[in-house]
């Protein structure tokens, strides 16, 4: 009966990854969402990103958002940074948990930041040194780990080679991003097995998109390998930039709902999370794709009559 | 590497279960959908139900739909019947594969047909005798197998006792229906294990709803136990009658997409299935919830530029 871990650590990414992929919203709304999420029992939140405001206007007010948030001392907040300048801003704002992204697909990496994957990894190695010097940690997020919208297949060996370089540079954690929802359970099993066999001690986090409905099946496959860290986004906030109208991030309520029913402790109060998802819907002014938000948890009863 | 079966048999239920839970549509549209699905490579289709037209006006034209369809000789078509009168109509129309439903939840069964589960099982035993006498087969669908919207929990032992009676009466197959999407992987594993240990030879089919996002995770758990028969509905046709706006049936495209990428043969041409889902959308005049219909299969490429 112990084929599943007893506990899972969910990182809520709605305030950053979610809102970054929606139309810009007011600073006060971002703060309200952060504050609401901080009271749900979730213990990790990706709060903001320190990117150039011309590149990503959605996050131009990162410092103001962070300064205005009622931070919960029991929550570990993290920030995404694109480069050394972003890392400086994040550290100056008081963040110690930083994330950087590199794409396993060279085409995707060049399309996003006009550099090759190898060039990005050079920059990341330097950045890790700087952040470690300042007492912080760096998670390296490997995007397109299960497929690339331009290249199609991304070989497991290619993803592993990116992890090798990140690990050699001192990455504190690796995250695999299923950027456009191309992952399926056998791909998850193959990649996790391959990376574990080379980097058994490196903390591993999985970030699934529900673009093609497979996110929770992918979570299940990862749980069976003992993976305990997952990203999810309140309400499923954040669409898929490559398929207008399609879903992006796995909804946090769907993840918590399934895990808790399976007896896996997330620490999250599902009712409070659903309330936060409703707030997220009001903020972005559209219906979010979370199935549990629509239908209610399985404990909800229909009325006889 | 052989933890998954090599092949899965998908039964397409959109024409019956899907359309029965949508606003009524013209007979010609039902025929067009049946004809399109018959050309997708799917080998089993639930075509119609022979229910009283006052009870379910959506299926009042079952005989006309069936008479008008271009039947593919490679496809096994089945019909749902509520009682002996329905079975007579189905047999007269030429069907040999019949399905009946009973709810494991007494409250749900009474609410639907004003009889107890035990009374329904009495009627089913009689009906199986009649159908077998006419050379047909009967699948017993046990609804609310993973939870009831009125009662909440439905004990595995309760579902098993319903299976015991159906098996004793000569049921040719058992299907477990997750009527309102209350199933999660551990529940699937527990129920399949329990039934297999008592009825190892009884064919088993699983019918999942994606109401709370768990359908493909449930499929994965069942595949790992060697289950190879699943229902799914083109486009995700058929809402959830207990949660307006929520999803019901697992979308066939999502199931085929995941299985085929995992190397599990379904025999279905995904492009043809997506075309049939677009037809289903036009017929019901609303956007259907299938994620693969929205985003396209993982083989779809984004355009660089």
Q: What is the pLDDT of residue B305?
A: 60
Please check whether residue B26 lies inside any domain of the structure.
yes
Residue written as token pair 């040999």: B96
Q: Provide the mean pLDDT of chain A.
A: 96
**Chain B within 8 Å of A193 (Cβ-Cβ)?**
no
Q: Assess whether pLDDT exceeds 80 at residue A211.
A: yes
B186/A221 CB distance under 8 A: no
Q: What is the pLDDT of residue B247?
A: 86
pLDDT digits (tens, 9 = 90+) for A127-178: 999 999 999 999 999 999 999 999 999 999 999 999 999 999 999 999 999 9
Residues of B whose CB is below 8 A from A257: 212-214
Please check whether residue A305 lies inside any domain of the structure.
no
B213/A291 CB distance under 8 A: yes
Q: What does the H/E/C string look like for A85-132? A: HHHHHHHHCCCCEEEEEEECCHHHHHHHHCCCHHHHHHHHHHHHHHHH
Using CB atoms and an 8 Å cut-off, which of residues 229-288 of chain B contact chain A?
240, 242-243, 245-247, 251, 254, 257-258, 261-263
Centroid of chain to Cα A236:
11
Alpha-carbon gap: A297 to the closest alpha carbon of chain B (Å): 7
Six-digit token pair at A134?
A: 């300042």
B149/A296 CB distance under 8 A: no
**Chain A within 8 Å of B59 (Cβ-Cβ)?**
no
Please check whether residue B217 is in contact with residue B185, taking contact to mean a CB–CB distance below 8 angstroms.
yes
Predicted complex ipTM exceeds 0.85 = yes
**Chain B within 8 Å of A304 (Cβ-Cβ)?**
yes
Enzyme catalytic residues of B: 240
Residues of A whose CB is below 8 A from B297: 212
Alpha-carbon gap: B214 to the closest alpha carbon of chain A (Å): 6
Q: Provide the mean pLDDT of chain B.
A: 96
Please check whether residue A128 lies inside any domain of the structure.
yes
| Separation of alpha carbons B266 and B255, rounded Å | 9
Q: What is the DSSP string of B196-243?
A: HHH-TTS-EEEE-B-TTS-HHHHHHHHHTTT--EEEEBGGG-S--TTS
pLDDT digits (tens, 9 = 90+) for B90-137: 999 999 999 999 999 999 999 999 999 999 999 999 999 999 999 999
B294/A246 CB distance under 8 A: yes
| pLDDT < 70: residue spans in chain B | 1-2, 305
CATH number at residue A134: 3.20.20.70
Of B111, B212, B261, the CB nearest to A292: B212
Alpha-carbon gap: B152 to the closest alpha carbon of chain A (Å): 7
**Chain A within 8 Å of B213 (Cβ-Cβ)?**
yes
Q: What count of Cα atoms within 13 Å lies in the side-chain half-sphere of residue B263?
A: 9
Residues of A whose CB is below 8 A from B298: 147, 180-182, 184, 212
Alpha-carbon gap: A191 to the closest alpha carbon of chain B (Å): 14
Q: What is the pLDDT of residue A240?
A: 77
Mutate to test the interface with B, among A154, A187, A286, A291 (most CBs of B within 10 A): A291
**Chain B within 8 Å of A302 (Cβ-Cβ)?**
yes
| Separation of alpha carbons A275 and A271, rounded Å | 6
| Separation of alpha carbons A251 and A247, rounded Å | 9
Please check whether residue B278 is in contact with residue B237, taking contact to mean a CB–CB distance below 8 angstroms.
no
Enzyme catalytic residues of A: 240
Q: What is the pLDDT of residue B1?
A: 41
Name the pairing type of β-strands B204-207 and B173-177. parallel
Q: What is the pLDDT of residue A301?
A: 87
**Chain A within 8 Å of B299 (Cβ-Cβ)?**
yes
Please check whether residue B274 lies inside any domain of the structure.
yes
Centroid of chain to Cα A263:
23
Please check whether residue B302 lies inside any domain of the structure.
no
Confidence category of residue A1, pLDDT binned at 50, 70, 90: very low
**Chain A within 8 Å of B116 (Cβ-Cβ)?**
no
Q: What is the pLDDT of residue A226?
A: 97
Alpha-carbon gap: B284 to the closest alpha carbon of chain A (Å): 19
Q: Which of B146, B34, B129 is nearest to B79 (CA)?
A: B34
Please state, in angstroms and as integers, the Cα–Cα distance from residue B292 to each residue in A99, A208, B237, following that order.
Answer: 30, 15, 13
Residues of A whose CB is below 8 A from B258: 184-185, 212-214, 217
pTM of the model: 0.97
**Chain A within 8 Å of B202 (Cβ-Cβ)?**
no
Report the SS3 class of residue A216: helix
Mutate to test the interface with A, among B6, B190, B261, B295 (most CBs of A within 10 A): B295
Using CB atoms and an 8 Å cut-off, which of residues 159-188 of chain B contact chain A?
180-182, 184-187
Alpha-carbon gap: B71 to the closest alpha carbon of chain A (Å): 31
Alpha-carbon gap: B6 to the closest alpha carbon of chain A (Å): 13
**Chain B within 8 Å of A155 (Cβ-Cβ)?**
no
Q: By residue range, what is the domain housing residue A19?
A: 9-292
Mutate to test the interface with A, among B254, B287, B298, B305 (most CBs of A within 10 A): B298
Mutate to test the interface with B, among A258, A264, A277, A295 (most CBs of B within 10 A): A295
Residues of A whose CB is below 8 A from B149: 300-302
Count the domains in chain B. 1
Please check whether residue B165 lies inside any domain of the structure.
yes
A232 forms bridges with which residues in the sheet?
A12
Q: What is the pLDDT of residue A305?
A: 60
Q: What is the pLDDT of residue A245?
A: 78
Q: What is the pLDDT of residue B52?
A: 94
For CA atoms B160, B165, B168, B170, give the dihedral sign: negative
A243/B295 CB distance under 8 A: yes
Please check whether residue A211 is in contact with residue B291, taking contact to mean a CB–CB distance below 8 angstroms.
yes
pLDDT digits (tens, 9 = 90+) for B58-67: 999 999 999 9
Six-digit token pair at A266?
A: 């997330």
| Separation of alpha carbons B154 and B150, rounded Å | 10
């Amino acid at each position: 009966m112990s084929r599943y871990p007893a506990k899972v650590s969910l990182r809520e990414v709605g305030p950053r990854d979610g809102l970054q992929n929606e139309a810009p919203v007011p600073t006060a709304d971002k703060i309200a969402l952060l504050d609401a999420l901080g009271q749900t029992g979730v213990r990790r939140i990706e709060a903001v990103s320190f990117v150039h405001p011309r590149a990503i206007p959605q996050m131009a007010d990162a410092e103001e958002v962070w300064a205005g948030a009622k931070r919960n001392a029991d929550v570990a907040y993290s920030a995404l940074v694109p480069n050394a300048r972003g890392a400086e801003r994040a550290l100056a704002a008081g963040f110690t948990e930083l994330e950087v992204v590199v794409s396993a697909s060279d085409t995707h990496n060049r399309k996003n930041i006009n550099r090759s994957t190898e060039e990005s990894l050079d920059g990341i190695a330097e950045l890790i040194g700087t952040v470690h010097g300042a007492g912080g940690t760096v998670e390296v997020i490997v995007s397109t780990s299960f497929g690339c919208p331009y290249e199609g297949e991304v070989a497991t060996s290619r993803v592993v080679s990116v992890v090798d370089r990140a690990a050699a540079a001192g990455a504190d954690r690796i995250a695999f991003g299923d950027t456009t929802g191309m992952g399926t359970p056998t791909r998850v099993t193959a990649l996790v097995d391959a990376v574990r066999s080379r980097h058994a001690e490196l903390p591993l986090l999985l970030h699934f998109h529900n673009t093609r409905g497979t996110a929770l099946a992918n979570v299940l496959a990862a749980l069976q390998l003992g993976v305990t860290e997952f990203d999810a986004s309140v309400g499923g906030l954040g669409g898929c930039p490559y398929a207008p109208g399609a879903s992006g991030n796995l909804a946090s309520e769907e993840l918590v709902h399934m895990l808790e029913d399976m007896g896996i402790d997330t620490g999250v109060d599902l009712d409070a999370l659903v309330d936060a998802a409703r707030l997220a819907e009001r903020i972005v002014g559209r219906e979010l794709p979370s199935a549990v938000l629509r239908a209610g948890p399985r404990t909800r009863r229909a009325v006889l009559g």
